[in-house]
Amino acid sequence: MSADQSTVSQYRPTGSLDPASALSPYAGAWTPKLAAHLLRRAGFGGSSAEIDRASASSMNAAVDKLINFGPDDLPQSPDADLSYGKGVPPAKQRAANIAMQLWFLNRLLQTANPLQERMVAFWSNHFTSAVGGGATPTMLVNQYDLFRKFALGKFSDLTHEVASDPAMLYYLNGAQNNKKRPNENFARELMELFTLGVGNYSEDDVRESARAFTGWTVNRATGEARFVPRLHDDGTKTFLGQTGTFNGDDIIDIILRQPAAGRFVAHKILQAFVYDDPEPELVAAAADQFSSSGYDVRALMNTLLRSNVFYSPRAYRALVKSPLEVAIGTLKTLGATAVITPIDGAIAAMGQIPMHPPNVAGWPGGAQWLTQSTVLARLNFVNRVINMNRPAKTVGPNAGTTGAAAPGPAMSMASSTDWLGGVAMTDGAAVADRVLWLTVQGDATLSQRGEVISYLQTDGVGNPVTLNGENIDEKIRGAMSLAMALPSYQLA
């Protein structure tokens, strides 16, 4: 069994792939919809202005801007007390966790380098770790900085780095893996989930490689990884058909010489960025390039983000947005400038606790994001955020009768009239089209568009309403909330 088989799903797009041209550069029309598609996939969606800028340039210029990023000026770590562990009161530890999550979320929202942050999210869901069992928020922050540094670097370099990363040493019990009694947890997941996939190694390979990784611990005082030779098993190991006194780095090198490694990682990248259940021919083509480039992620993304398959109708809206994508994308659409509590908790209700994957396999994504509870949480999330910057006059006795969500903390974002972007407020159809462009780039059915127009032009019981300065704020918020409830809005 291979990785490809283990992820068979019914969610491969219909139609057929042309393997010969799939990865060749796309030369078709560059439309605003495709610009928005690029920003959804290679980032967390675009604000109205970002979509306009990307579509006004060329496809190549838009991809260049995403790929060739420089250093950013956002904080490298949270500006907060991250004390954690024994002796720190639980309330302080909770605060440290929240500060860490908000730091991460704010980077996603505020970055000038959306692809870099998108890769941080990808790698953190690949090389999973979480706070707990010794791992502290500071270690997670440092680990995410590592993902940021290697965002588009060599996958091989990143794998070597991760193997001695303190958060990882705790998360998969590498810190407890010693010569006397090896702990197999990291060795197994390294092969199963990080590099090869089930079926490409044996139980003996797990046992032998666990011995090779022995000796790494974490210095509790400094939080840094260190290698303790006396805890390392320097005996002979036989691993994937080779025999030697291997250490962990040797094991990783042997793994990355397996053809299965290129296929496994290319499959995962295609699944995250292009579409679900990619054809074996597409995986093979991407894997060939990836392996022969020495696992150069930047080169692979350069190919993918300019490719025919990426801009094909088969890839368009073919993925389910993660809660992070819904949240950050919504905030960008609404012109929010910062992520504040309780947004972090609302993302968790959608099924994704930021920086806290459910288990070592990470969030599986796709259909798994869509349950009745999480879908309701998505609709509740947008409804809540849309109402987080309500002008003071609508908060009061009337707020309940309009059914608005209870006003939360003030949120810095664009006003509802900014969302209109200059469209004449009295023209219901024009307002509806503007709202549907902002939210789903016009990807609605005719009757859905009709519903938005009808909502804008009637009251709750069907009487005609004229849009004016008195009611426009309420009506735009309602229309945005409707548009973000559309099935299209859940698709990336």
Partner 1 sequence: MGSRRQFIVQSVGAFAGFLAVDSIFSRAARAASGVYTAGSSAGRCLVVVNLQGGNDGLNTVIPYADPNYYRARPSIGVAQSEIVKLDADLGLNPNLADLKELFDAQRLAILQGVHYPNPILSHFRSTEIWQTAAPDRYVTDGWAGRYLDDAQLPANNLFKGVAIGPVLPKMMIADKTDVPAIADLRTFGFNGKRDEQRQADMILNGAADLYPFESPYLSLVQDVEHDAHAASLQLPQLVAGYKPAVEFPKTPFGQGLNLISAIVNAGLGTKVFYISLGSFDTHVNQRQRQDSLLAQFAGGMKAFYADLAVHKSDDRVVTMTFSEFGRRVEENANRGTDHGTAAPMFIVGGGVKGGVYGDHPSLTDLDFGNLKWHTDFRSVYATLLERWLGVSSTPVLGSAFPTLSFVS
Looking at 69-77, 104-112, 121-129, 351-359, which segment touches partner 1 (CB under 8 A)? 351-359
276 in contact with partner 1 (CB under 8 A)? yes
Asked if 187 and 203 count as a contact pair (C-beta separation under 8 A), the reply is no
- Judged by CB, which is closer to partner 1: 294, or 460? 460
Among 405, 414, 465, 472, binds partner 1 (CB under 8 A): 405
- Judged by CB, which is closer to partner 1: 163, or 297? 163
13 in contact with partner 1 (CB under 8 A)? yes
Q: 175 CB contacts (<8 Å, ≥6 apart)?
A: 134, 169, 216, 217, 218
106 in contact with partner 1 (CB under 8 A)? no
- Judged by CB, which is closer to partner 1: 291, or 481? 481
- Judged by CB, which is closer to partner 1: 146, or 386? 386
Applying the rule CB under 8 A, the residues between 184 and 243 that interact with partner 1 are 184-185, 188, 192-193, 198, 203, 206
Q: 104 CB contacts (<8 Å, ≥6 apart)?
A: 144, 354, 355
Give me 187's structure tokens: 């060795």
Cβ count near 89 (within 10 Å): 9
Whose tokens are 């093979």? That residue is: 284
Among 10, 16, 222, 466, binds partner 1 (CB under 8 A): 10
Distances in Å between the Cα of 128 and the Cα atoms of 122, 124, 226, 281, 445 are 10, 5, 20, 28, 39
Q: 48 CB contacts (<8 Å, ≥6 apart)?
A: 333, 421, 438
316 in contact with partner 1 (CB under 8 A)? yes
290/425 Cα distance (integer angstroms): 51
Applying the rule CB under 8 A, the residues between 423 and 462 that interact with partner 1 are 442-448, 451-452, 455
275 in contact with partner 1 (CB under 8 A)? yes
Among 317, 332, 390, 434, binds partner 1 (CB under 8 A): 317
Coil, helix or strand at residue 157: helix
271 in contact with partner 1 (CB under 8 A)? no
Applying the rule CB under 8 A, the residues between 69 and 98 that interact with partner 1 are none
Among 77, 93, 183, 457, binds partner 1 (CB under 8 A): 183
- Sign of torsion, CA 345 350 352 358? positive
Q: 404 CB contacts (<8 Å, ≥6 apart)?
A: 387, 390, 394, 477
76 CA to centre of own chain: 19
Among 77, 142, 173, 394, binds partner 1 (CB under 8 A): 173
396 in contact with partner 1 (CB under 8 A)? no
180 in contact with partner 1 (CB under 8 A)? yes
Applying the rule CB under 8 A, the residues between 285 and 304 that interact with partner 1 are none
413/388 Cα distance (integer angstroms): 9
Site string for partner 1, 123-152 (x = CB under 8 A): ----------x-------------------
398 in contact with partner 1 (CB under 8 A)? no
491 in contact with partner 1 (CB under 8 A)? yes
Distances in Å between the Cα of 84 and the Cα atoms of 97, 253, 342, 348, 409 are 9, 35, 22, 22, 27
349 in contact with partner 1 (CB under 8 A)? yes
How far apart are CB 86 and partner 1 at their closest, in Å?
Answer: 14
Among 68, 245, 368, 412, binds partner 1 (CB under 8 A): 368
